[in-house]
Structure 1
């Protein structure tokens, strides 16, 4: 009980912070869902971007909590510099993964092509003409005309010129009612 009386104001501030961040999370998830449905993005990608927003809010909450409970800036600077040094070394090794995740987030909010569209990627070494089958966190799944599945990294799709060949192209041809003999 001594803990609650000693840290009454800090606990109250923590409660207020938690409520505010939960409200912000609810608003963010609602906005992400509305933007996603308006743009015709599938629910799995909407859920993924919502998780990214939640993780960001949790990190902000942890930072503000340490300040509420009296951590000094110099202490935080020491911790963050040490953590960022370790993370920096680790991220250098996996920069491609982070680049693809960041590209996936950018593609969620601003990507003119959707699942089902037939596109052409103008790559001088390996030009691709395919239908977008899925847009995942790290790569696009593209179905070639011959049936092959090509995975194309998100960061590269933002760097290459892309032409929309057919909006909402069908993944599989429809049966026209005639039977081949």
Structure 2
């Protein structure tokens, strides 16, 4: 054991520094994501989801840096990563829509102009929808129709279709039972 420590003393010291830096970056990112989420009125479940994505990404990046610190060569890592990505790519080809919805969920976290409680119109040629956003999740939105039915709408489609925010006055009139005409 002491032979290992003596041999890799510099690498262990550098690794501890790198891990400390990545931990500090992770804490700063978590605080920033929470602030952005709260400022934008995003619910806690979505904030925690983005924090998990960030944590996993930083963890994988730190593993890559640690591999270089301990002497891994770029060519060796390139071979390993290309093999792994090829297998993952083939396996995930069948479930591309899941990845598309996850990616859309991340994009929606930072740039989706609508919030839970907003009434929106989705302009879909085949099936237009007017509903209130009940929840925004990792894979889909939960939309409540006027008749009470719940629709789950995929995140990737909401970014592809034109969406209109129904005026808040119209929603208040609707909730109060006032005739809109």
TM over 0.5: yes
Whose helix proportion is higher, 1 or 2?
2
Q: TM-score, structure 2 length as denominator?
A: 0.92
In the alignment, structure 1 residue 144 sits paired with structure 2 residue 111: no
Q: State the shift of 1:91 in Å.
A: 1.9
Which residue does 1:36 correspond to in 2? 37
Which residue does 2:111 correspond to in 1? 110
> Could you say if the C-alpha distance between residues 7 and 90 of structure 1 is closer, same or farther in structure 2, counting changes exceeding 3 Å?
same
Q: Could you say what secondary structure the match of 2:47 adopts?
A: helix
> Could you say if the C-alpha distance between residues 174 and 18 of structure 1 is closer, same or farther in structure 2, counting changes exceeding 3 Å?
farther
Q: Could you say what secondary structure the match of 1:113 adopts?
A: coil
Structure 1 gap ranges (5+): 176-181
- Checking the alignment, whether the CA contact within 8 Å between 1:45 and 1:108 is kept in structure 2 is yes
Aligned length: 174
Over aligned residue pairs, what C-alpha RMSD do you find?
1.7
Question: Please, which moves more after superposition, 132-141 or 78-87?
Answer: 78-87
- Checking the alignment, whether the CA contact within 8 Å between 1:10 and 1:68 is kept in structure 2 is yes
Q: TM-score, structure 1 length as denominator?
A: 0.92
Q: Could you say what secondary structure the match of 1:94 adopts?
A: helix
Q: Distance in 1 between matches of 2:4 and 2:102?
A: 42
Q: State the shift of 1:173 in Å.
A: 4.7
Structure 2 gap ranges (5+): none
Which residue does 2:120 correspond to in 1? 119
